[in-house]
Amino acid sequence: MQVRAKSESISSFFKDLKTAIEFAHSHDCKVIINDYVEHVNDLNADGVHLGVNDCNPDKARQILGPRKIIGLTVHSWEEAEKAKQSDACNYVGIGPVRRSQTKKQLWPKLSMENFKEIISFLYPIPAFLIGGLSSKDFNLLRLTGAHGICICSAMHSGKIFGTALNLLLEKRNSYNDTLC
């Protein structure tokens, strides 16, 4: 689970977030904090996800130590090359695949062939597709070789987050069944 708080400071709901992370851990769920490297250890989160304009992954590794998870989003070959040169990243998100409601300023630039080539280049770093994806996109795993897809906007309908979770899990399970 990734916690992303763009509209307000994470410190404004720190206590509630700490409680939520404890709850997630009690259910064997890992929690990644988006952007806020400085709060990961204090919250006992499992790691941080960084954008290209956030803290450098190598610097984040120095701050967090060897056990925390560090993820990085890349949008181009150049950014993928930097991620590969760093030994700090545990996984990479690549995108956007499509326009997204959560990052309206980003436009898709990479073709499916680009995604496939970048994912191959990044190996053995696990790579996940991001941006404008839904439960209908599990087929992209086969097409590109990605380790997974990241879904945010498609997790809700209207203002209630999580309403599409059961559908997502059903689609994921049926996709996994076709792999067996």
> What's the angle, vertex CA 37, arms to CA 34 and CA 39, rounded to 5?
95
Q: Distance between CA atoms of 150 and 51, rounded to whole angstroms? A: 15
* Spatial CB neighbours of 156, under 8 Å, sequence gap ≥ 6: 162, 163, 164
**2-179, CATH topology level:** TIM Barrel (3.20.20)
Residue range 35-63, pLDDT digits in tens: 889 999 999 999 999 998 899 999 999 99
Residue range 2-26, pLDDT digits in tens: 877 766 677 777 888 898 899 889 9
